[in-house]
Structure 1
Amino acid sequence: MGYILLAIFLYFVYRFTVGFVLPVMRTTAEVKRKVREMQSQQSGHSATDNSNQNIPHKPADKGEYIEFEEVKD
Structure 2
Amino acid sequence: MIYKGTAMDFYMCPEVSDHDHCRYCGDCVPSDQAYCSVECYHKDQAVIRKEKYKDLFWSAAALIGVAVILALGIIF
- After TM superposition, the score normalised by the length of structure 2 is 0.49
1:33 and 2:53 correspond: no
Q: CA–CA distance in 2 between the matches of 1:52 and 1:22?
A: 45
Gaps in structure 1 of 5+ consecutive residues: 1-8, 54-73
* TM-score normalised by structure 1 residue count: 0.51
Task: Please give the alpha-carbon distance, in whole angstroms, between the structure 2 residues aligned to 1:38 and 1:14.
Answer: 35
Amino acid at match of 2:69: S
RMSD of equivalent CA atoms:
2.2
Structure 1: 4+ residue segments shifted above 6 A = none
Q: Normalized per residue, which structure has more strand?
A: 2
Which structure is higher in RCO with an 8 Å CA cutoff and minimum separation 6? 2
Partner residue of 1:14 out of 38, 53, 60: 38
Q: Deviations over 1:23-56 (max 9, x none)?
A: 0000000001111111110000000111233xxx
Q: In structure 2, what is the Cα distance between the partners aligned to 1:15 and 1:50?
A: 51
Aligned to 1:62: none
Structure 2 residue runs without a partner (length 5+): 1-28
Indicate the structure (1 or 2) with the bigger Cα radius of gyration.
1
Aligned residue pairs, count: 44
Shift of 1:14: 1.3
Seq. identity, %: 5
